[in-house]
A and B are shown apart, each in its own frame.
Chain A
Amino acid sequence: MAVLVVAEHDNASVKDATNKVVTAAKAMGGDVDVLVAGSNAGAAAAAAAKIEGVRKVLHADGATLAKQMAEPLEALIAPLMANYDAVLFPASTTGKNAAPRVAAKLDVMQVSGVIGVEGPDTFVRPIYAGNAIITVKDEQPKKVLVVQPTAFKAAGNGGAAVVETIAAPTGPFKSAFVSEEMAKSDRPELTAAKRIVSGGRALGSSEEFHKVLDPLADKLGAAVGASRAAVDAGYAPNDYQVGQTGKVVAPELYVAIGISGAIQHLAGMKDSKVIVAINKDEEAPIFQVADYGLVADYKAAVPELMDELTKAGL
Chain B
Amino acid sequence: MKVLVPVKRVLDYNLKVRVKPDGSGVDLSNLKMSINPFCEIAVEEAVRMKEGGGGHAKDAAKEIVAVSIGPEQAQETLRNALAIGADRGILVKADGEVEPLAVAKILKAVIEAEKPDLVILGKQAIDDDNNATAQMLAALLGWPQATFASKIVLGAGKATVTREVDGGLQTLDVELPAIVSTDLRLNEPRYASLPNIMKAKKKPIDVKTPADFGVDTTPRLKTIKTAEPPKRAGGVKVKTTAELVGKLKEAGVI
| Contacting residue for A109 out of B135, B220, B224, CB 8 A | B220
Q: Within A263-314, which residues are at the interface with B (CB < 8 Å)?
A: 263-264, 270, 273-276, 282, 287-296, 301, 304-305, 307-309, 311-312, 314
Set of chain A residues within 8 Å of B16, measured between Cβ atoms: 131, 263
A175 at the interface (CB under 8 A from B): yes
Set of chain B residues within 8 Å of A74, measured between Cβ atoms: 139
| Contacting residue for B227 out of A94, A103, A133, CB 8 A | A133
Provide the bound-state CA to CA distance between A301 and B237, in Å.
14
Known: A104-B104, A110-B100, A177-B170. 15 other contacts (CB 8 A): A94-B166, A96-B147, A98-B135, A100-B132, A127-B127, A128-B11, A135-B225, A178-B160, A195-B253, A238-B183, A264-B13, A291-B251, A294-B241, A295-B237, A305-B244
B165 at the interface (CB under 8 A from A): yes
What's the minimum C-beta distance from B166 to chain A, rounded to whole angstroms?
A: 5
In the complex, the answer to whether B169 meets A180 with C-beta atoms within 8 Å is yes
Interface residue tally for chain A (C-beta within 8 Å): 94
| Contacting residue for B226 out of A111, A132, A178, CB 8 A | A132
Provide the bound-state CA to CA distance between A136 and B171, in Å.
36
B242 at the interface (CB under 8 A from A): yes
In the complex, the answer to whether B171 meets A178 with C-beta atoms within 8 Å is yes
Q: Within A118-177, which residues are at the interface with B (CB < 8 Å)?
A: 122, 126-140, 146, 173-177
30 contacting pairs across A/B (C-beta < 8 A): A70-B147, A71-B145, A97-B147, A99-B132, A100-B133, A107-B101, A110-B132, A126-B129, A128-B129, A132-B227, A133-B227, A173-B144, A174-B143, A175-B146, A175-B178, A176-B173, A177-B170, A179-B171, A181-B171, A238-B183, A253-B253, A276-B248, A291-B233, A292-B248, A294-B240, A294-B241, A295-B237, A305-B241, A307-B241, A309-B245
A79 at the interface (CB under 8 A from B): no
Set of chain B residues within 8 Å of A132, measured between Cβ atoms: 17, 19, 26, 226-229
Mask: chain B, 181-223; 1 = CB below 8 Å from A; 0 = not? 0011100000000000000000000000000000000011111
Provide the bound-state CA to CA distance between A179 and B165, in Å.
12
Set of chain A residues within 8 Å of B135, measured between Cβ atoms: 70, 97-101, 104
In the complex, the answer to whether B227 meets A101 with C-beta atoms within 8 Å is no
B113 at the interface (CB under 8 A from A): no
Provide the bound-state CA to CA distance between A305 and B248, in Å.
12
In the complex, the answer to whether B165 meets A137 with C-beta atoms within 8 Å is no
Set of chain B residues within 8 Å of A308, measured between Cβ atoms: 241-242, 244-245
A82 at the interface (CB under 8 A from B): no
Provide the bound-state CA to CA distance between A262 and B127, in Å.
16
Interface of B is mostly: mixed
Provide the bound-state CA to CA distance between A267 and B219, in Å.
26
What's the minimum C-beta distance from A91 to chain B, rounded to whole angstroms?
A: 9
Mask: chain B, 106-137; 1 = CB below 8 Å from A; 0 = not? 00000000000000000110111111111111
In the complex, the answer to whether A174 meets B144 with C-beta atoms within 8 Å is yes
Set of chain A residues within 8 Å of B13, measured between Cβ atoms: 263-264
Provide the bound-state CA to CA distance between A282 and B245, in Å.
20
Q: Known contacts being A69-B172, A175-B173, A180-B169, is A301 close to B241, with CB within 8 Å?
A: yes
Output the nearest chain B residue to A17 by Cβ-Cβ distance: B166
What's the minimum C-beta distance from A225 to chain B, rounded to whole angstroms?
A: 13
A202 at the interface (CB under 8 A from B): no
Set of chain B residues within 8 Å of A113, measured between Cβ atoms: 129-130
A67 at the interface (CB under 8 A from B): yes
Show the binding face of B for A, using Cβ within 8 Å. Answer: 11, 13, 16-17, 19, 26, 38, 99-101, 104, 123-124, 126-140, 143-148, 150, 160, 163-175, 178, 183-185, 219-229, 232-233, 235-242, 244-245, 247-249, 251, 253-254
Mask: chain A, 49-77; 1 = CB below 8 Å from B; 0 = not? 00000000000000000010111001000
Set of chain B residues within 8 Å of A270, measured between Cβ atoms: 229, 232
In the complex, the answer to whether B170 meets A180 with C-beta atoms within 8 Å is yes
In the complex, the answer to whether A131 meets B17 with C-beta atoms within 8 Å is yes
Provide the bound-state CA to CA distance between A135 and B238, in Å.
37
In the complex, the answer to whether B220 meets A140 with C-beta atoms within 8 Å is yes
Set of chain A residues within 8 Å of B19, measured between Cβ atoms: 131-132
A93 at the interface (CB under 8 A from B): yes
A187 at the interface (CB under 8 A from B): no
In the complex, the answer to whether B221 meets A136 with C-beta atoms within 8 Å is yes
Set of chain B residues within 8 Å of A289, measured between Cβ atoms: 232, 235
Q: Known contacts being A70-B135, A293-B235, is A136 close to B223, with CB within 8 Å?
A: yes
Output the nearest chain B residue to A183 by Cβ-Cβ distance: B168
